[in-house]
């Protein structure tokens, strides 16, 4: 009984000390930002930045066609994901885009197992996993086992980036709770979607990743390419966290004749 009494007295005394300390003007209080970070429900890494680790996937139809379009045999209808509605092509580039569209069931580089590149890999309708570390993030895509590193260690783009890169060179920094990623150094052998929207080797992409809530990422990408577009333009996509326990599966790409599997009849599109 004596031992129990001593413990009770000690606990009471400790509680009194903590209360007195909290009321004392000389004791530093936890910063308000820390309380806000705990209250917003957003997962955070030890350094305080949002932690995007997890498996994500979009439910949008962006990969079929970034622009607004009616339903057709090879694509469901969609209002599009582009601010302003349309991609601002230069006249000659628009003609090439139309030619790509006419050959979309055979010439999409995806059908030849080329990398999806950026930003298409983000809105392609297959899951991808983000692995976050203090100095980098790695995106592992289920489709084609595509892997992209985003460096957040303060390093800069190389002065002469490799012109043969499929995924470009990604350098990120934090603006508050938003991860901003600058990407250059692409080849010109990929499309932006299944409709033939495309870019050149002068493509420059700026991504912005931000949580809406713990299970939703608001993703935007601004694309600039002076050889193809008359001005920069932006897409907005929502990414959803996949259910707990989901694992990426092996997804090996092999070539096929798309038109043999999805033929157009009577000239319908």
DSSP line for 56-100:
EEE-S-TTT-SS-B--BTTB--B--SBTTSS--B-HHHHHHHHHH
Q: Is residue 151 part of a domain?
A: yes
Domain span at residue 204? 55-261
User: What is the pTM for the complete model shown?
Assistant: 0.81
The domain total for the chain is 1
Domain assignment present for 159: yes
Average pLDDT for runs of 10 along the chain of length 269: 40 39 37 50 96 98 97 94 98 98 95 94 97 98 94 94 87 98 96 98 98 98 99 99 95 70 49
pLDDT at residue 148, rounded to an integer? 97
Answer yes or no: is 199 within a domain.
Answer: yes
Q: Is residue 28 one of the residues assigned to a domain? A: no
Q: Is the Cβ–Cβ distance between 124 and 116 less than 8 Å?
A: yes
Tokens standing for 104?
């979309």
In this structure, is residue 197 part of a structural domain?
yes
Report CA torsion sign: 104, 110, 192, 62.
positive
pLDDT at 2: 42
- In this structure, the strands spanning 169-175 and 128-133 are unpaired
Measured distance CA(154)–CA(157) in Å, rounded: 10
> Is residue 5 a part of any domain in this protein?
no
């Amino acid at each position: 009984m004596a031992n129990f009494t001593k413990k009770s007295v000690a606990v009471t005394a400790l509680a009194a000390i903590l209360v007195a300390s909290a009321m004392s003007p000389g004791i530093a209080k936890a910063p308000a930002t820390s309380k806000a970070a705990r209250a917003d429900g957003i997962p955070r890494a030890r350094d305080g930045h949002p932690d995007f680790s997890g498996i994500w996937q979009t439910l949008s139809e962006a990969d079929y066609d970034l622009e607004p379009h009616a339903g057709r045999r090879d694509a469901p209808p969609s209002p599009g994901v582009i601010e302003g509605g349309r991609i601002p092509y230069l006249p000659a580039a628009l003609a090439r885009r139309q030619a790509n569209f006419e050959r979309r069931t055979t010439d999409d580089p995806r059908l030849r197992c080329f990398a999806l590149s950026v930003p298409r890999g983000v809105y392609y309708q297959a899951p991808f996993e983000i692995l976050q570390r203090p100095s980098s993030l790695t995106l592992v895509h289920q489709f084609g086992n595509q892997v992209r590193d985003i460096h957040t260690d303060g390093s800069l783009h190389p002065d002469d980036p490799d012109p043969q890169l499929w995924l470009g060179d990604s350098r990120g920094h934090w603006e508050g709770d938003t991860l901003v990623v600058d990407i250059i150094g692409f080849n010109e052998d990929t499309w932006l979607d299944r409709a033939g929207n495309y870019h050149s080797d002068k493509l420059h992409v700026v991504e912005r990743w931000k949580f809406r809530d713990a299970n939703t990422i608001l993703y935007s990408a601004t694309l600039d390419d002076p050889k193809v577009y008359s001005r920069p333009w932006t897409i907005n996509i929502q990414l959803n966290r996949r259910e707990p326990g989901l694992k990426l599966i092996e997804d090996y790409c092999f070539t096929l004749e798309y038109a043999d599997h999805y033929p157009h009849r009577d000239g319908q599109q």
